Structure 1
Amino acid sequence: MKKLIAAASLCVASFSVQAAITVPKYDVNAGKQIAETVCAACHGLTGESIVPAQPNLGGQNVKYLYKQLVNFKAGYRKNGIMQSQVANLSQQDLANVAGYYASQQPWGVGYGNPATSQEASKLFLGGDKKRGVIACAGCHGPDAKGNIFAAFPRLGGQHSEYISTQLKLFRAAGRDDDISSDDQKRVNDAAKEGEKGMMQTVASRLSDRDIRILSEYISAVH
């Protein structure tokens, strides 16, 4: 419990930033129409991707989805495909799509790796004090369902390949590379100016093996 409290304290600094995200009133049916033509090829019409490199979106936190779409459009999160896909969408369109996918049934569960699940579980739930690794559960919850209020995403059952890639990008500061802005509230990994973002800080202490076993474990959490 003490480890979870300590991990949760790291999240507090970004709560005010994340909680301030306001999603415009959205139209699920309008979002579905956009998803059919723009998003479904990669993420599936119901938000369950058949490509491990592309994230599942169905049932995800609407604040998180909206924030990511806004950040892609603004360039605070960089991905050539995503930036081109949202380039012609309005803020209302982004809200509609986020609302649509959030309204879908959560995705299924992966299989994980039994050989490393116990070790990964300890890291996910309790971190590693000796190495300064913060527990993932402090922000994403012990059941990996995320935090709706703080816009922290649901992770449980997500593709392990996708999770691994994102952790490595955070570790390399690639999720918001070359970002310098006075408006830190809009940076994808929220932080004070001149400091590492929360996820960059956490990921910087993870080894390749940590990332692998955590990704496999998270993909099987339900």
Structure 2
Amino acid sequence: MFAALLAVPALSLAAGEAAPAKVAKPDLVKGAATYAAVCVACHAADGNSAIAANAKLAQQHPEYLVKQLQEFKSGKRKNAIMQGFAAALSDEDMRNISYWVASKPVKPGFAKDKALVALGERIYRGGISDRQVPACAGCHSPTGAGIPSQYPRLGGQHAEYTATQLTAFRDGGRNNSLQMNQVAAKLNDREIRAVADYIAGLR
């Protein structure tokens, strides 16, 4: 019986079914070149943007970066600047860029607002039970490292960038994650600022 089960794939391929196409390994040399030509002005040479409004890309999960670039290109994620850049990229370009910048270490950030950081920690680690807000750590891990292919890395991200994204999820300006729309809908401005500031200091 076991031998018969093992034989099934061979029989189906013999009947003319094509084997699944192998995805080419990302080309990090091409990724570095394309990144330098397209991304460096806003996200810095090593992916550690010095501009708080622009995301740090270094050490982000490459699968997440590819997904975001594809959604900028398709218009599912709205941003006129990023849509313009992504429109010129092929799927291969996106993979090469994403895997290259993901290989760069992220520079640690710091929480800046002492008055809010304790609130941010409570929300990140424990959520807000009376409003059914889940702990951020449940999906993005206690250190903000995220879960590859599923949830992005947050640790060390600029607080301004994180707060802007949470506000966009809450207010409907960003609609490429229903889960985040539902979570952010329950947060007020102060809570968003607090959790964004706490995330900036995670490492």
Q: CA deviation at 1:113?
A: 2.2
Larger RCO (CA under 8 A, 6+ residues apart): 1
1:204 to 178, 185, 191: 185
Matching of residue 73 in structure 1 with residue 79 in structure 2: no
Question: Following the alignment from structure 1 to structure 2, what is the Cα–Cα distance between the partners of residues 204 and 111?
Answer: 23
Partner of 2:156: 157
Q: Is the 8 A contact 2:157 2:199 kept in 1?
A: yes
Q: CA deviation at 1:88?
A: 1.4
C-alpha RMSD of the superposition: 1.5
User: Is the partner of 2:70 in helix, strand or coil?
Assistant: helix
Structure 2 counterpart of 1:59, one-letter code: Q
Structure 1 counterpart of 2:134, one-letter code: I
Q: Is the 8 A contact 1:54 1:162 kept in 2?
A: yes
Matching of residue 172 in structure 1 with residue 177 in structure 2: no
Q: Is the 8 A contact 1:123 1:214 kept in 2?
A: yes
- Is the radius of gyration larger for structure 1 or structure 2? 2
- Spell out, residue by residue over 1:175-216, the C-alpha distance to the aligned partner (whole angstroms, 9 max, x if none): 13xxxxxxxxxxx21xxxxxxx10000000000000011111
Q: Which runs of 4+ in 1 moved over 3 A?
A: none
Q: CA deviation at 1:26?
A: 0.9
Give ranges in structure 1 of 5+ residues lacking alignment: 1-21, 177-187, 190-196
Question: Following the alignment from structure 2 to structure 1, what is the Cα–Cα distance between the partners of residues 23 and 161?
Answer: 25
Q: CA deviation at 1:109?
A: 1.7
Question: Following the alignment from structure 1 to structure 2, what is the Cα–Cα distance between the partners of residues 104 and 50?
Answer: 15
Structure 1 counterpart of 2:184, one-letter code: A
* Match runs of 1:7-156 below 5 Å: 25-150=25-150, 152-156=151-155
* Match runs of 1:181-200 below 5 Å: 188-189=176-177, 197-200=178-181
Q: Is the 8 A contact 2:106 2:156 kept in 1?
A: no
Q: CA deviation at 1:118?
A: 2.0
Partner of 1:3: none
Taking a change above 3 Å as real, the CA distance of residues 92 and 110 of structure 1, as seen in their structure-2 partners, is: same
Give ranges in structure 2 of 5+ residues lacking alignment: 1-21
Q: CA deviation at 1:23?
A: 7.6
How many residue pairs align between the two structures?
Answer: 182
User: Is the partner of 1:116 in helix, strand or coil?
Assistant: helix
User: Is the partner of 1:71 in helix, strand or coil?
Assistant: helix
Q: CA deviation at 1:24?
A: 5.5
Q: CA deviation at 1:54?
A: 0.2
Question: Following the alignment from structure 1 to structure 2, what is the Cα–Cα distance between the partners of residues 149 and 71?
Answer: 15
Partner of 1:179: none
Question: Following the alignment from structure 1 to structure 2, what is the Cα–Cα distance between the partners of residues 202 and 140?
Answer: 13
User: Is the partner of 1:198 in helix, strand or coil?
Assistant: helix
- Spell out, residue by residue over 1:26-80, the C-alpha distance to the aligned partner (whole angstroms, 9 max, x if none): 1111011011110000001110101100000011111111110111111111100
Percent identical residues: 41
Q: Is the 8 A contact 1:23 1:95 kept in 2?
A: no
Q: Is the 8 A contact 1:73 1:87 kept in 2?
A: yes
Query: TM-score, structure 2 length as denominator?
Result: 0.86
Structure 2 counterpart of 1:58, one-letter code: A
Question: Following the alignment from structure 2 to structure 1, what is the Cα–Cα distance between the partners of residues 44 and 173?
Answer: 26
Question: Following the alignment from structure 2 to structure 1, what is the Cα–Cα distance between the partners of residues 121 and 87?
Answer: 39
Query: TM-score, structure 1 length as denominator?
Result: 0.79
Structure 2 counterpart of 1:110, one-letter code: F
